[in-house]
Structure 1
Amino acid sequence: MSFVHLSVHTEFSLHDSLVRVKPLMKAAAASEMPAIAITDDSNLFCAIKSYNAAMSNGVKPIIGAQLLVQTSRIATPSLITILCKDNQGYRYLTDIISKGYDEGERDKEKRPIIPLDWFEGRSAGLIALSGGREGEVGRLLLNKRNELAFDALNEYKELFGDNFYLELQRIGHPADDRYVREAVEIAIETETPVVATNAVRFMAPEDFTSHEIRLAIAQGRKVQSLREDMTAPCTKHQYLKSPEEMRELFSDIPEALENTVLIAAQCSVDITLGKSFLPEFPVPQGMNESDFLRESSERGLEERFRYYFKTDEAIAAHREEYVARLNFELKTINDMGFPGYFLIVADFIRWAKENDIPVGPGRGSGAGSLVAYALGITDINPIPYHLLFERFLNPERVSMPDFDVDFCMDKRDLVIQYVAEKYGQKAVSQIITFGTMAAKMVIKDVARAMGHPYRFGDSLSKMIPERPGVTIEEALAEVSELRQEYETNEEVKVVIDHALALEGVTRQTGKHAGGVVIAKNKELTEYTPTYRADVGDSLVCQYDKDDAEAAGLVKFDFLGLRNLTIIDHAIKTINARRGKEGLPPIDILAIDLEDRPSYELLKRCETTAVFQLESNGMKNLIKRLQPDRFEDIIALVALFRPGPLQSGMVDDFVDRKHGRAEVTYPHPLLEGVLEPTYGVIVYQEQVMQIAQVLAGYTLGGADMLRRAMGKKKPEEMAKQRAIFVDGCLKHNNIEGGLAGSIFDLMEKFAEYGFNKSHSAAYALIAYQTAFLKAHYPADFMSAVLSSDMDNTDKVVRFIHECRSMNLDIIPPHANHSTWLFAPHDGKIVYGMGAIKGLGEKVAEGILRDREYAGEYQNLTDFLFRNSMPKRVAEACIHAGMFDYTEMDRSELLAVCPLALLAGKQLQKQAGQGMLFEMEIPPLPRVDVPVMETDIRLSGERKVLGLYLTGHPYEKYRSSLMSALTGQLIDIVKNAEDDTIDRADKYYNITIAGLMTGIDIKNTNAKGNYAFFKLDDGSARLDCKIFPKGYHEYQAFIKDDNLVVIHGQVRMDTRTETVSVIVDTVQPLESFLQNQTGRVIINLPEGARPFREMAKIHGLSSLQDEGSLRIYMKTTDQEELVEIPQPPISSNGPAIQKLRDLWGAGIVIEYVKQQGKVASRKVSIDIDPVAETEDLEAVRADLRLQLETFLDKGYKAMYGSSESGMSPD
């Protein structure tokens, strides 16, 4: 007597299983189980994975699911397990689960609740297990509602007939024995078959604690809390028991075991895999897809000729080459059966462009297709840049083409909607993804679930290298500190062991960044079940990308790229202005790719907001390379990756470009292939071309060689080497030694080579953004700011960039602002959309009325023409919308209530037909003080989320620079630099700024901790302070406090965000008082030092002690001269006196404690005299000392005793 497990949850149940599919199938095969059923919770996520894994291990796969079903007998849903007997049952189960996510109600875990009557007419091919004690029959029996239990049993038997089984479980639950006894009794009475299951949730007994931790993490609880819960959802017995263990467990009910084998024998689902089903594209009558593709491509190529070559002579010179390439590509596409794919992609791109939705010029290897260029799928001509079609679609290796298409981020969903309407709402969906427990996070989660304090798990997770995909095992091998903790600290070992058990387990669903599938003339459920994460969410298929394609669906990639939105916004504002000026519009695809100002901007590394070129690391590479042609930008995109940067090839590339190293080629025949990259192999296409030119490979065969080099299989590489060496000799008489050396070189660079088609397409977007920044800075930066208008942190950074470009950012303006940021007279006007409380509908009304009735004269006119609450009107005033009027913001706020009343009165008169008799009265003037700077700035931050016309920290910035690690913008850029080793970024820093957005959390046991942002006007940084630090510094942790912080900077590679872990917090003024620093008096040109020195007379009488020593500096002397006066404070009467005397010439600098002030000291004593004495009296008093020390003093300052000066 054997046994088959018919109730197994895998990790794809998301919250209640540790079972991984491949190890499960291997274990089933090892135990000689003939079959196994995967019955995940309310889904078929892993149906294809489990089907393939079972078949490859010689185990029959049984597809099923555990569902929640609802009847009128019990208020809450009950469990049922459904197994598929055949393909019809598989289709029915797919339909029911999909319908559940589409139409069904949800439980608190967002699982669909299936009405039992949905199975009417859809039960053929399905086997139903009752759900044990949690099924409806079981629950009624345990609640002593036996009559209803009989009713329920009869209904299930009517639906499923002989395919309904009462499910028996002995998994250690207190109610098991009673349930099994009563279930067997009712089974005998009603002649219903019984079946034994074990509700498997983990593989082995020793996995139980790890499984408990998994449950605790999913529920946000501690394991101890879970164990104390009498309704805990699992027991230690729910592992993959052997047939022998199950026989022992159910020795008294042998038929329950026998029925598992009988059920398994009935189940046989045969899923067709590996065959793609392209949707049919509608073509004109009398044509097929191949004919229509040729006609469309030839017509498109003629249009491209006119656009690209301009003259008939140029077209004639290139026609033969282009037509031959087009014909080759068309033959390949048609022979491989993919004309419909190209037509579908071209159609939705055409629709997007016609409907004002920006589309990228290309992405990935698809940019190498001339057919794609002719059809308008791409906008980069592949031939001038030697982009290869075979890199995209290889006639010698049949695989689906895969165009990645970038759309405007904001309108991408409209294109997907168009496709759904064209091919059917039930035939189109996006693709599911599965998030897993990664090394860093799983360690934190396990530590927290086991009751350890946050610091415990956080400190362990920080020992994991910051490398995408790194595993705990790799970290233990690489990081000695982590390994030592693991080997010597039992608590650490326990946490890491459980983390190892959970690492990589699926924890959540997501949505593929751009993948969309289209079913061929059918509903998606012919191929895949569908899913909605919650009611109203977008539809996705339940199979991930690989499984969906294996099931026959074809994937199309609809990706969102914010930079396309930026370019489109900028071009529209530029062309609107050019239209008013009578100038022709700018066509971004027709700009000069040899524009000098654009390359000069790149060479100056002014690439913030320039696509692909804005990181600090990229700026460093640009500084070295000094790009001056488009091919250099293509190379930049390809070279700026860890492999090339660490291999030395980038250094070689740069040196060759600048003549510091000779440009050489492995063979003279390769000059045409490698000339664009100065003889260095940079691209995958170059590897292919070398094989073609030297060894006679077809480009299809060369693509196979490239792939083989990437996989590094020794036997395949030996085979390819022989083919290459023989080919070199046969086609070009190249002897074996040289041919072998070239093959080795290709193999080395193939490891780092990048797809040139992708580089070229993205280099074009990069160049377009650089061109716009160079020629239309206000238009471009207003578009950049608008694209991230909802992200205040980014707005702060981009405003900082604008100011570095000498671009003024002016507050929102009633007569110039739009909803978004907008250029105006070479400046950027803040968008109304950034004003908190000013909704889009109100803003639309403001803009509409301004367009219709002209500019707003004053606040009354504005409020007459736009109805709004007082708080909204005041927000507009605080934002600066009426700074163009004669009134200060304080006066505007004072008269705002009167203006609102006047506006309402005018509206009333207008309603009585007196519109043309009205005049807008001037606002009454009120005598109120001008708004103080701090109040103005506070108001701006309240309504805009940031300081716009100044910053509270600004007056300290220059003096603190030398005492801090850097400005916040520098900290952020350094942490984001892709070329810096992650470990080098986690350093101690000292930073300063204003606290904002404080969020205090409670950890119960350890006390409060806090999150806040630090803002210094250049950027914002997220900060976190733990309970110990919070307890010590909580008095300083207040909104709007100016503080100095010591801590460590962190870069989260998962979220790509920079943050700071705070160690200490100190009020800024307190910090300044304790700092060593200096006051530098920068003398104006032509000033006579000793005369200026005399003005300080009497300073010490002010009794203003501090830490700042005083120095003097002339315009023609770099070295400082120390003035022999006692140190003064940074904010007392002494510094004020100096500012009265020299104004902007006074600079305060603070230095790090270990720093020293480099200067020379003039030893001239100046006796204090009363401040009432005039300068002549002071000079008389000093004359004798000056005569004596003149030569000494002059020599100290200028290195010479020949002053030629009198004491005057």
Structure 2
Amino acid sequence: MYLNCHSYYSLRFGTFSEVDLLELARENHVTQLALTDINNTSACLNFIRKASTYNIKPIVGIDFRNGINQQFVGIAKNNEGFRQLNTWLSEHLHLERPIPQQAPDLPGTVFIYPFEKVLLHGMEAFKEHEYIGISVKDLRKLPFSKYIGYKDKLIVLQPVTFRSKRDYNAHRLLRAIGNNILLSKLSTEEVASEDEKMYPVENLYQAFREYPFILENTDRLFPQCSIDFDFTTGKQSQNQQTYTKSEQDDYRLLEKLCLEQISYRYPDGQQQALERMWKELELIKKMSFVSYFLINYDIVRYAKAQGYFHVGRGSGANSIVAYLLGITDVDPLELDLYFERFMNLFRSTPPDFDIDFSWRDREDMTRYIFERFPHVALMGTYVTFNYKGVVRELGKVFGLPKEDIDRLSERQFDHSELDEVSRLVLRYGSLITGMPNYISVHSSGIIISEKPLQYFTTTFLPPKGYPTVQFDMHIAEDVGLYKFDILGQRGLAKIKETLEIIRYNRPEVTGMDIHDVQRFKKDRKVNGMLKRAQCMGCFYVESPAMRMLLKKLEVDNYLGLVAASSIIRPGVAQSGMMREYILRHHDPKRMKQAHPVLLDIMPDTYGVMVYQEDVIKVAHHFAGLTLAEADVLRRGMSGKYRSRDEFKAVEEKFISNCRQKGYEDSVTLEVWKQIESFAGYAFAKGHSASYAVESYQSMFLRAYFPLEFMTAVLNNGGGFYRPEIYIHEARMLGATIHSPCINRSYMENRIRGKDIFLGFGYLKDLEDRAVQRILKERETNGIFTSLEDFIDRVHISIEQLSILIRMEAFGFTGIDKYELLWQAHFSLGHTRRFESQYQLFKVKQNSYEIPVLKTTHLEAAFDQLELLGFALCSPFDLLLEPPQSNRLTRDFNHCLNHCIDIYGYLVTTKRTSSRYGEEMFFATFLDQSGEVFDAVLFPPVAKQYRFRGKGIYRIYGKVVEEFGFLSLEVVKMRKESYVQDPRFSG
């Protein structure tokens, strides 16, 4: 009886979820109703999925509006009608076209005009599929309207937006947020009527008792509407079903491609590989995932043809078929990766490939996929109201001063001291928090569907310019749409650009194959660098935490790095199992503490769960769960489950089975605690292996081409650290660093031999258009010979030219920059040249008597600090007082367990909490020789001594060692002062 119901996916309008709507319907004895969100179908599939749980027949449609102005409500009579509604709305959203007054004529649909709209426009004729909707409120006007005579066209259209007065208040706040105005300025036209609520069905019938024909018309409509999607476990995938248009041809192609590559991947023996390959192919065919593999192969093939680098990771790296197709570079036989983790008959979801491309290439890869396949869309995601966002929005709506909003959003208040308005902000903030705010784009997901995406949802067109579905990955998976993950990362761009730089800076280097990872794994220089954790700039292994772990584990091989890549993840680390792994690594006797079953299942990781596969093994072999139940755990720990109840049921069975096996509860609960700690963080072993391959490629380049590699690192946004730190690292590796030069520099950094010229891009106040003029003129007419020559040839303001001079971009002239600044002001200071102006004849510059000027080392450093954000000299040269200690990192060995006084330039800090929830810090510093050392501030010290931004700190602390890793436990520290800026002193 309800044909116009809203959920909170009527964004910044509705006030409760689609599941809450079903619960509300059950409470009011409603057995069938329609969900019609405003210009949105985000909730429709989950509404249909959940409806049977409430014994309700679901109907779906769309409330078509221009802003708040309702035009008509479209109801889908069947799946085709739903597709038609979605397609029609998608066109309007893509083109930003307003919804017209007249509803379209679409197969399988019904359109209902609200009574107020019919009155306003004086509508006369209605098509067979068009009706006039009458709400309870409209019954007061209906008898006095000519439309009382349209008896066969009148049906009940009672909107449902609120459950209570509180919902109505929340709605008004959402409308004020949506309109970005004060609540007091919100007009009644922007707000829904307070009586848009659901009545018990018998009450609704009672309200319309004088108009039985309206009830009869409505009752006739409901049986005409029926929609169905398959949400059962083991449902058929809705992804593109074939690659070649024929399942038989698909399989023959997949088989052919694998056989073509078997000798390349396994030149020294193929028997084991062939056995594994045939086993996988049989299962892939049985589970109808042949096209899935071929589509991924197609994507990777295009990338290789364009010279793009990629990394295939995720659970897909467990597949030898993926390895043969070149989707991944991880050999599953080498790592004993069992295919059943990736795909098995008990798994409810299809295999999962994550394919990384360079951040520079990802856009073209996305374009290719959309052009290559017929039914493609980006995956949507919901950006919800979080606490801080809600408080800030409501603070503005209620007119709170900025200081009060800041205080509330940072939770820096005593609730008892708050005024009434602030309390309202918090009260309604708690109601709105968690509601969807707007629909955005998933970071990597792309859907390639067998049917047009509008069969499932409306699509919208975000700034990226590609159609995007109005639901997230969970809803997509529910209906059988599984995303392809196409990600962008900078690590691959660093590798690719390093190779390009080597070609021009080291032309003597030929025949290097960056994909020859097997050779890199055996390289002593690379493995030695890994063991010493000299990995600055290298993908995934450069952070302080990873450096510490590599040293503690003395990692000097590929398999060790695979394990380390997963152990570092928060799940393993926070459960205490990272420390246990290290202890067992150093002391084999400690493995006796492991449960014998766990040790038997995971001998390579000392009986410690490290990978997602380990959880499946433990669940199956230790606790006796089925593979299907173990898969629920896998999805649960990776954050992909939809149902907490389902996860809870598996937990209860896990504990029950363990008791039946005779395990002590303390052992069972400890193992379960380890499993829970993986939630949202665990890596599949193949995933870690893929990361380790890229790490080895990076480390090889750093080992043999360090300056080219560091230049590429800088040109691709650095990594874990600030650009300044990578510039320092390049200097430590033998580079000479030059400030930007008008004749040698580009927007990015360039290397010539061992000279690295910083790019113009570091000059934050230099305009891009000025740089483009310089580069274009230099390319067209050659290098600049002097400042005068530059001014004659390049249109530039005195302000922009001053930046270049102060950064010594004219250093090649041999003239002091102060003298050049005088010359620049004499030449440009009183003139205004426009871009369209140019000089036919060179104008002779007047000669001026300029005083002899000399820039000091300190003045140059402070210019660099201002313009670059860092100085090119050692920061220790800027200290007000010379260091009182010459202790260095290399002294740690012979000062073990003693306190030392050392100076350090702050590189990075990490705030964390002790086991008791107290604040503490880890920090990384550079010593006076440029070497890195690490320090920890435990809670008592962290309370007393605070970090005050980057700079040099004098630290007094105790040198400690753990598993060979030396660090400093800070006792006290003080930030040291720099000299006064000489440019403004005196």
Structure 2 partner of 1:617: 545
After TM superposition, the structure 1 = structure 2 runs for residues 552-571 of structure 1, keeping only pairs within 5 Å, are: 552-571=480-499
Is the counterpart of residue 974 in structure 1 residue 914 in structure 2? Answer: no
How many residue pairs align between the two structures?
Answer: 906
Is residue 518–residue 555 contact of structure 1 (8 Å, CA) maintained in 2?
A: yes
CA distance in 1, matches of 2:500, 2:978: 50
CA distance in 1, matches of 2:632, 2:151: 66
**How far is 1:91 from its partner?**
2.2
CA distance in 2, matches of 1:981, 1:667: 26
Is residue 818–residue 831 contact of structure 1 (8 Å, CA) maintained in 2?
A: yes
CA distance in 2, matches of 1:620, 1:988: 11
After TM superposition, the structure 1 = structure 2 runs for residues 892-903 of structure 1, keeping only pairs within 5 Å, are: 892-896=820-824
What secondary structure sits across from 1:63 in the alignment?
Answer: strand
Structure 2 partner of 1:631: 559
What secondary structure sits across from 1:508 in the alignment?
Answer: strand
| Corresponding residue to 1:788 among 717, 729, 737 | 717
After TM superposition, the structure 1 = structure 2 runs for residues 930-941 of structure 1, keeping only pairs within 5 Å, are: 930-931=854-855, 936=860, 940=864
| Corresponding residue to 2:183 among 214, 217, 223 | 223
What secondary structure sits across from 1:7 in the alignment?
Answer: strand
What secondary structure sits across from 2:110 in the alignment?
Answer: strand
**How far is 1:887 from its partner?**
1.6
**How far is 1:295 from its partner?**
0.6
Is residue 12–residue 46 contact of structure 1 (8 Å, CA) maintained in 2?
A: yes
| Corresponding residue to 2:370 among 403, 415, 420 | 420
CA distance in 2, matches of 1:246, 1:93: 28
**How far is 1:721 from its partner?**
5.5
What secondary structure sits across from 1:823 in the alignment?
Answer: strand
CA distance in 1, matches of 2:849, 2:700: 48
CA distance in 2, matches of 1:894, 1:491: 59
Is the counterpart of residue 114 in structure 1 residue 114 in structure 2? Answer: no
| Corresponding residue to 2:169 among 206, 209, 218 | 209
| Deviation string, structure 1 residues 639-679 (Cα, Å, up to 9, x no partner) | 12333223332222222323385455969999896454345
Structure 1 partner of 2:385: 437
| Deviation string, structure 1 residues 1131-1186 (Cα, Å, up to 9, x no partner) | 99xxxxxxxxxxxxxxxxxxxxxxxxxxxxxxxxxxxxxxxxxxxxxxxxxxxxxx
After TM superposition, the structure 1 = structure 2 runs for residues 799-948 of structure 1, keeping only pairs within 5 Å, are: 799=727, 808-835=736-763, 856-859=784-787, 873-896=801-824, 927-931=851-855, 936=860, 940=864, 944=868, 948=872
**How far is 1:401 from its partner?**
1.8
| Corresponding residue to 2:457 among 524, 528, 533 | 528
Structure 2 partner of 1:45: 42
After TM superposition, the structure 1 = structure 2 runs for residues 906-1055 of structure 1, keeping only pairs within 5 Å, are: 927-931=851-855, 936=860, 940=864, 944=868, 948=872, 954-956=878-880, 969=906, 972-975=908-911, 984-985=918-919
- Change beyond 3 A, Cα 1:982–1:216: farther
- Change beyond 3 A, Cα 1:489–1:94: same
After TM superposition, the structure 1 = structure 2 runs for residues 406-417 of structure 1, keeping only pairs within 5 Å, are: 406-417=356-367
Q: Which amino acid in 2 is paired with 1:131?
A: P
Structure 2 partner of 1:125: 108
CA distance in 2, matches of 1:341, 1:668: 40
| Deviation string, structure 1 residues 200-254 (Cα, Å, up to 9, x no partner) | 222223433233333333333443443xx34341343333333355456656656
CA distance in 2, matches of 1:87, 1:612: 47
Which TM-score applies when normalising by structure 1? Answer: 0.65
Which TM-score applies when normalising by structure 2? Answer: 0.79
- Where structure 1 has 5 or more consecutive residues not aligned to the other structure, the ranges are 71-75, 106-112, 141-148, 171-175, 307-314, 465-480, 726-735, 913-917, 992-1017, 1019-1045, 1051-1057, 1061-1067, 1078-1128, 1133-1208
Is residue 3–residue 35 contact of structure 2 (8 Å, CA) maintained in 1?
A: yes
Is residue 860–residue 923 contact of structure 1 (8 Å, CA) maintained in 2?
A: no
Q: Which amino acid in 1 is paired with 2:435?
A: V
- Change beyond 3 A, Cα 1:738–1:509: closer
Is residue 431–residue 544 contact of structure 1 (8 Å, CA) maintained in 2?
A: yes
After TM superposition, the structure 1 = structure 2 runs for residues 324-723 of structure 1, keeping only pairs within 5 Å, are: 324-360=275-311, 362-397=312-347, 399-424=349-374, 427-446=375-394, 449-453=397-401, 458-459=406-407, 462=410, 485=415, 495-520=425-450, 522-533=451-462, 537-578=465-506, 580-585=507-512, 587=514, 589-590=516-517, 591-659=519-587, 661-664=589-592, 674-686=602-614, 707=634, 711=647, 713=650, 716-717=653-654
Structure 2 partner of 1:765: 694
**How far is 1:898 from its partner?**
8.7
Q: Which amino acid in 2 is paired with 1:572?
A: E
**How far is 1:18 from its partner?**
0.5
User: RMSD value over aligned CA atoms?
Assistant: 5.1
CA distance in 2, matches of 1:702, 1:185: 62
What secondary structure sits across from 2:443 in the alignment?
Answer: strand
CA distance in 1, matches of 2:49, 2:442: 23
What secondary structure sits across from 1:6 in the alignment?
Answer: strand
CA distance in 2, matches of 1:504, 1:203: 18
**How far is 1:922 from its partner?**
15
Structure 2 partner of 1:728: none
CA distance in 1, matches of 2:979, 2:352: 66
Which has the higher mean CA deviation after the structures are superposed, 643-652 or 602-611? 602-611
- Change beyond 3 A, Cα 1:530–1:693: closer
CA distance in 2, matches of 1:640, 1:55: 44
Is residue 526–residue 703 contact of structure 2 (8 Å, CA) maintained in 1?
A: yes
**How far is 1:126 from its partner?**
2.3
- Change beyond 3 A, Cα 1:899–1:325: farther
Q: Which amino acid in 2 is paired with 1:194?
A: L
Is residue 711–residue 756 contact of structure 2 (8 Å, CA) maintained in 1?
A: yes
- Change beyond 3 A, Cα 1:708–1:909: closer
CA distance in 1, matches of 2:155, 2:946: 59
Q: Which amino acid in 2 is paired with 1:114?
A: I
- Change beyond 3 A, Cα 1:862–1:356: farther
Is residue 663–residue 679 contact of structure 1 (8 Å, CA) maintained in 2?
A: yes
| Deviation string, structure 1 residues 962-988 (Cα, Å, up to 9, x no partner) | 9x9998945x5223x6x8679644899
Is residue 35–residue 61 contact of structure 2 (8 Å, CA) maintained in 1?
A: yes
| Deviation string, structure 1 residues 693-732 (Cα, Å, up to 9, x no partner) | 999999x68965975997462564378659xx9xxxxxxx
Structure 2 partner of 1:295: 256
Greater relative contact order structure (CA < 8 Å, 6+ sep): 2
Structure 2 partner of 1:82: 74
- Change beyond 3 A, Cα 1:241–1:448: farther
In our comparison, the structure showing a higher alpha carbon Rg is 1
Q: Which amino acid in 1 is paired with 2:381?
A: T
**How far is 1:405 from its partner?**
0.8
CA distance in 2, matches of 1:1076, 1:351: 54
What secondary structure sits across from 1:61 in the alignment?
Answer: strand
CA distance in 2, matches of 1:400, 1:454: 50
- Change beyond 3 A, Cα 1:660–1:855: farther
Structure 2 partner of 1:1104: none
**How far is 1:541 from its partner?**
1.4
CA distance in 1, matches of 2:949, 2:385: 22
Structure 1 partner of 2:30: 33
**How far is 1:57 from its partner?**
1.1
Structure 2 partner of 1:11: 8
Q: Which amino acid in 2 is paired with 1:269?
A: I
After TM superposition, the structure 1 = structure 2 runs for residues 1073-1092 of structure 1, keeping only pairs within 5 Å, are: none
- Where structure 2 has 5 or more consecutive residues not aligned to the other structure, the ranges are 638-646, 888-900, 926-931, 933-942, 956-976, 981-986
CA distance in 2, matches of 1:1076, 1:374: 55
| Deviation string, structure 1 residues 344-396 (Cα, Å, up to 9, x no partner) | 10111111122122212x32111111111110000121211122221111134
- Change beyond 3 A, Cα 1:358–1:862: farther
